[in-house]
Structure 1
C-alpha cells in the first residue's frame, strides 16, 4: 500500500491553519505522548503550558492570565460560555453574539442548554452595539465580540460591547482565535488592556504557527477558570478545568515553542508581510473588475460568480465562500505573492473561457 502523504499548502487559500514553525514541529513530536490533562504526572508539559499561557497573556495584554491550551477555538468558546453560565447561575441563561460570530457558539448553546441571541452587524460587518444592547436582559450571562472575524476579518467595537455586557451584569468574551496574533501590531482596541474583557479565545495553531491542535482560552480572573473545574479523584491531579480531559502534549509544546521563537518580532514581521500581501491582492482583484471589501486584517473577500468559483476549485484551489457568497481568501504564513499571482492567472484564464464563467455580479456591503 502506498504511504499516505499530507496535503501540501501550495493551493490552500481558505484555511486559518498553516504550516507549523520548525521549532513547533520538533516540540510537538517530542511531547506527543505526554498528557497535560494530568499535570502532576506529566510535570514538564505542565510547565510548558504555564509558559504558553503566560505568553498568550502577554500577547493579549493580561499580566496575570488564567487559562490553558485548548484543542482549538471551538473548545475555548464553549468553555467561555460554560464558565459564564456556571458563574452567574440564572434560570434561563442566554448569550448575545453578533451574526459574524463563529459557528462554535451554536454548538456551545446546544451542548450547554443556553439560548443564543444573534444580533445584526453594521454595513462594515462589525457588531451593532445598539442591537446588542437591545438584546441583553437579566438572564444574559455573556456578550461576545469578535476580534478578527472568520468571514471578513473585522474587529468589533470591544470597549462598547464590554460596557453593554457589564451594564447588564454579564461577562464579555472576545473571540480573537485568528486575529489575536495579528492585532498587537495594529491600532485596534481589542485586548484586555483596551477594555474590561473577562475572557478571550486566542489560538496558537492559526497565525501563531503552532502544530494543530493548539487553541487557547484566557480569563482575567481565576474565578473564570475555577468555574470549569471538576474533581478527578483517580488522577495524581485532584481537579481539572479543561473540557477534553486527556490531551496530547504535542499542542502545548508546539505552542510554547512557536511563541518562544516568534514573539514579538517574528509575528510583527509576518503581520506586516501578509497585511501588504492582502492589500495588494485586493487591489489586483479590483483591477480585474471584482467588487472587493476593504481589507482590515489580512483576509480578502470579493464578489465572484458561481461558475468562476467552481472552475477554480476544479483547478485545485482550496477556496471558500462567506455565508453571503463572497470569495474568501485568508493570507496565512504559507500564502505568498507567487501563489496569489498563479491564482489570478487562473482567474483570468477561467474568465476568458466564455460568458457562462465570467459574471462579476455580487455585493460585499461597503465594497469599493
Structure 2
C-alpha cells in the first residue's frame, strides 16, 4: 500500500540544530536548480557560473579577495578535503615528505576530523583546550612535529561557540616551517562551518584577513540560511585546490577537485540567492538578534540557579539536571547535550524570543 510522504519537522521547538529554515529567496532558487549538477560544469554551465559567484561571496565573507574553492555537501566534506589537500601537498612538495602524516587539532574540533583521519590514513593528534574552551597554543606547539601536515583552528566550536586564537596558531605553523631545511610547514585550516556567517560582525580574528590561513570551512546551509546541502571550502592558493584534482576522462572538464562527483545545484543557487538577499545587513541583524536571545536565555537560566557557560557566539550551555532535560525532550523540545552533559541551545535565526520564553516556562514547570 502506498504511504503518504510525511511532513518534515517544524522548527517551532528546535533549539539544538545548527541548520535553520532557508531564506525564501534561497528556497525559490534551489527549486529552479534541483536538476543541475555543478560537478559537470560543461553540461550545467549556469550552475557552474553560480558556483563561481558563491565562492567569491564566501571569500568576501572570509576576507579573501581571490578565493579558490567550491560548494561542498557540508562542513564534514570541507574538513576532509582540507586535510586531504594538506596531506597531498606534503607528500608531493615537501623536501622530506612525512612517513606518517598527522594533523594537530584541539579537543574542541568537530568529529569530522576523526572521519578525515580514518578515511585518509593520517593520525589525528588532539590537544587540550584552555580553561575557556579555546585551543591551548602551547599544547599545539608541543604536538607539532616533522610529520604534521596540518594544524586546525576552530572558529565557532559546536559545543560552546568558542573561537580559537587563529593568529597565534598561524605563528606556530610559521615557526614549524622555519625549523625545517626546506621551509616545509603544515597548512593552517580554520573550521568556521557554523560561526563563519556571524564572525564578520564581531571583534574576533578568525579568517584570511587576520592571519595567513591556508584553508577555511564555512557552511551557507547553517547561519547563511541556504538550503541543505550547501557547505563551503575556501583555499588561499590555487595549488591547494589543485592538490585535490583527479582526471575526469568522460566529462567535458578534464579534472575535478571535489570529493563527490554529482553535487547539488540547488545548494549552489540557494547560497547565492541567500547571500544576495542578506549580505551584509541581513546577516548583521540576524547576529544581533541571536546574540540578544542567547544573552537573555543565559541570564534566565542563571537566575534560576543553573551553572551557565558565558556565551561568546550565540550558543548557550548550562548544567541542567538530567531529569529536567529528559522531561523537556518529552515535551518535544529538540535539545542536545555537550560532552560534559550540559544543556546546549543554539540561537539560530528561527529561534525567537517567544520560543525561548516558552522554553524557560517549561523549565520552571518541570523543576
**TM-score, normalising length: structure 2:** 0.95
Partner of 1:186: 202
Cα distance, 1:61 vs structure 2: 0.3
**Structure 2: which 5+ runs fail to align?**
92-97, 177-184
TM superposition outliers: structure 1 runs of 4+ over 4 Å: none
Structure 1 residue 2: Cα displacement: 3.5
Distance in 1 (alpha carbons) for counterparts of 2:299 and 2:236:
40
**Structure 1 gap segments, 5+ residues each:** 352-368
Match of 2:214 in 1: 198
Q: Which residue of 2 aligns with 1:99?
A: 107
**Cross-structure match for 1:84:** 86
CA contact (8 A) 1:290 1:302 kept: yes
- Aligned equivalent of 1:313, options 329, 342, 347: 329
Match of 1:138 in 2: 146
**Could you report, residue by residue, the CA deviation over 1:196-231 in whole angstroms, capped at 9, with x for unpaired residues?**
000000000000000000000000000110000000
Deviation at 1:4, TM superposition (A): 1.2
Tell whether 2:34 aligns with 1:26.
Answer: no
1:160: how far off?
Answer: 0.5
Match of 2:39 among 27, 33, 37: 37
Shift of 1:191: 1.0
CA separation of 1:287/1:138 partners in 2, compared to 1, >3 Å: closer, same or farther? same
C-alpha distance in 1, partners of 2:111/2:18? 15
- Separation in 2 of the partners of 1:42 and 1:2? 33
Over aligned residues, Cα RMSD in angstroms? 0.6
| Offset, 1:309 | 0.6
CA distance in 1, matches of 2:10, 2:162: 28
**Deviation, structure 1 residue 41:** 1.1
Distance 1:121 1:96 in 2: 12
> 2: CA distance between counterparts of 1:3 and 1:66?
40
Provide the rounded CA distance (Å) in 1 between the counterparts of 2:296 and 2:365. Answer: 20
In the TM superposition, residue 3 of structure 1 has moved relative to its aligned partner by 3.7
Measure, in 2, the Cα distance between the counterparts of 1:72 and 1:294.
Answer: 28
Task: Name the SS for the 1:33 alignment partner.
Answer: coil
Question: 1 CA distance for matches of 2:18 and 2:5?
Answer: 27
How far apart are residue 237 of structure 1 and its match? 1.1
* 2:338 equivalent among 313, 318, 322: 322
Alignment partner, residue 286 of structure 1? 302
State the secondary structure of the residue aligned to 1:277. Answer: helix
Give 1:166 shift. 2.5
Distance 1:314 1:236 in 2: 53
Q: Deviations over 1:160-203 (max 9, x none)?
A: 01111232211100000000000000000001010000000000
For residue 116 of structure 1, give the secondary structure of its aligned residue in structure 2.
strand
Q: Calculate the TM-score normalised by the size of structure 1.
A: 0.95
- Aligned partners of 1:225, 1:240: CA distance in 2, in Å? 10
Do residues 249 (structure 1) and 249 (structure 2) align?
no
Q: Which residue of 2 aligns with 1:364?
A: none
SS of the aligned residue for 1:190 comes to coil
Match of 1:111 in 2: 119
- C-alpha deviation, 1:74, in angstroms: 0.1
Q: Is residue 349 of structure 1 aligned with residue 357 of structure 2?
A: no
